[in-house]
């Protein structure tokens, strides 16, 4: 069934009609719990894991880093870990990011039309285990899908700014004005996640496929 309604908040980015998943109830967002957000690319578009494309994405992430703590870019989707005091604030930040990303990607690819046809997937992280699993998913997704990273961090993610690695060579990049992400504020994302298994191995792969 083809819907005639565009995704809320995408503006001109939603002009092209696409199939979308039915809208279900959202998890309750709170200032104590970080959120794992996934943006899924429309079909038949170029891979996001290209140097020129990633530079554009990184610039967009930098403009959203008041909410954005971690990210990773995959071939056809983007993982984000964000913080917000309430659902409306998170939704506003993500929708603004989607519009910015869509505009810049269409410019790079020399096209027009929909980039993100579906509403973003949201998982509110309430426990140390959920946060640690989300971090493993974000940072290990590329390795799980076959990227040749060996013992290195995924360069198309915020892994370089993450201080919680076990066995990493060198210190984390500083979270200064040039960083594309912000320092975490929630207890779960600063230290709480370590209660579920401690520091994360650089070569660690998610146990299950990330959505």
Query: For position 83, what pLDDT does the model report?
Result: 97
CB-count exposure of residue 206 (10 Å: 0-12, 13-18, 19+): middle
**Is 12 part of a structural domain of the chain?**
no
Residues of the chain with pLDDT under 70: 1-26, 146, 150-151, 207-211
**Is 34 part of a structural domain of the chain?**
yes
Query: For position 121, what pLDDT does the model report?
Result: 95
Query: Rg for the chain (alpha carbons), in Å?
Result: 17
Q: Which domain does 97 fall in, by range?
A: 26-173+181-192
How many other C-beta atoms can be found within 10 angstroms of the C-beta atom of residue 196?
15
Structure token pair of residue 91 = 């939704």
Q: What is the pTM of this model?
A: 0.85
**Is 45 part of a structural domain of the chain?**
yes
Query: For position 145, what pLDDT does the model report?
Result: 75
User: HSE on the CB side for 103, CA within 13 Å?
Assistant: 11
**Is 114 part of a structural domain of the chain?**
yes
Structure token pair of residue 46 = 């170029």
Query: Per-residue pLDDT tens for 11-29?
Result: 444 444 434 444 445 678 9
Structure token pair of residue 93 = 């930040």
Number of residues written out for the chain: 211
| Longest pairwise C-alpha distance within the chain | 52
From the list 156, 8, 193, 19, the residue with the least C-alpha distance to 79 is: 156
**Is 62 part of a structural domain of the chain?**
yes
DSSP state of 31: T
CA distance 173 to 179: 8
Instruction: Assign residue 106 the CATH number of its domain.
Output: 3.30.70.1290
**Is 208 part of a structural domain of the chain?**
no
Overall domain count for the chain: 1
**Is 104 part of a structural domain of the chain?**
yes
CA distance 188 to 193: 5
**Is 92 part of a structural domain of the chain?**
yes
Query: For position 19, what pLDDT does the model report?
Result: 43
Query: For position 31, what pLDDT does the model report?
Result: 94
CB 131 within 8 A of CB 189: yes
- H helices present in 15-86, as ranges: 51-63
Query: For position 203, what pLDDT does the model report?
Result: 84
Query: For position 208, what pLDDT does the model report?
Result: 66
């Amino acid at each position: 069934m083809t819907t005639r309604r565009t995704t809320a908040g995408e503006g001109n980015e939603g002009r092209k009609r696409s199939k979308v998943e039915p809208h279900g109830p959202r998890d309750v967002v709170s200032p104590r719990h970080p959120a794992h957000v996934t943006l899924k690319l429309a079909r038949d578009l170029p891979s996001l894991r290209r140097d020129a494309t990633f530079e554009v994405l990184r610039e967009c992430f930098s403009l959203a880093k008041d909410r954005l703590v971690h990210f990773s870019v995959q071939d056809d989707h983007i993982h984000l870990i964000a913080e917000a005091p309430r659902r409306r604030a998170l939704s506003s930040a993500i929708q603004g990011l989607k519009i910015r990303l869509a505009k810049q990607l269409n410019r790079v690819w020399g096209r027009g039309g929909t980039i993100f046809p579906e509403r973003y997937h949201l998982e509110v992280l309430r426990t140390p285990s959920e946060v640690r699993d989300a971090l493993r998913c974000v940072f290990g997704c590329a390795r799980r899908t076959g990227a040749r990273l060996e013992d290195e961090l995924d360069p198309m993610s915020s892994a370089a700014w993450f201080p919680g690695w076990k066995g990493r060579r060198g210190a984390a990049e500083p979270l200064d004005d040039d960083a594309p992400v912000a320092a975490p504020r929630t207890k779960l994302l600063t230290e709480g996640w370590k209660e579920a298994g401690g520091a994360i191995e650089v070569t660690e792969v998610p146990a299950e496929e990330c959505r």
